[in-house]
Chain A
Amino acid sequence: QQQVKQSPQSLIVQKGGISIINCAYENTAFDYFPWYQQFPGKGPALLIAIRPDVSEKKEGRFTISFNKSAKQFSLHIMDSQPGDSATYFCAALNTGNQFYFGTGTSLTVIP
Chain B
Amino acid sequence: DAGVTQSPTHLIKTRGQQVTLRCSPKSGHDTVSWYQQALGQGPQFIFQYYEEEERQRGNFPDRFSGHQFPNYSSELNVNALLLGDSALYLCASRRGLSQETQYFGPGTRLLVL
Residues of A that sit less than 8 Å from B by CB: 4, 6, 32, 34, 36, 41-46, 49, 89, 91, 93, 96-104
Contact = CB atoms under 8 A, between A and B. Distances in A.
Interface string B37-77: 00011111100100000011010000000000000000000
Contacts of A46: 101-103
B43 A98 contact: no
Contacts of A91: 42
A5 to B, nearest CB: 11
A55 to B, nearest CB: 19
Contacts of B101: 34, 46, 49
List the 4 shortest-distance A-B pairs measured between CB atoms, nearest first. Answer: A43-B104, A101-B42, A32-B100, A101-B43
A96 B98 CA distance: 9
Contacts, number: 55
Given A49-B100, A97-B48, A89 B43 contact: yes
Nearest to A106: B40
Interface of B: 4, 33, 35, 40-45, 48, 55-56, 58, 90, 92, 97-98, 100-107
Nearest to A95: B98
A32 B104 CA distance: 17
A111 B102 CA distance: 32
A45 B104 CA distance: 7
Contacts of B44: 101
B90 A43 contact: yes
Given A102-B42, A103-B42, A41 B106 contact: yes
Given A43-B4, A89-B42, A104-B40, A99 B102 contact: yes
A32 B101 CA distance: 10
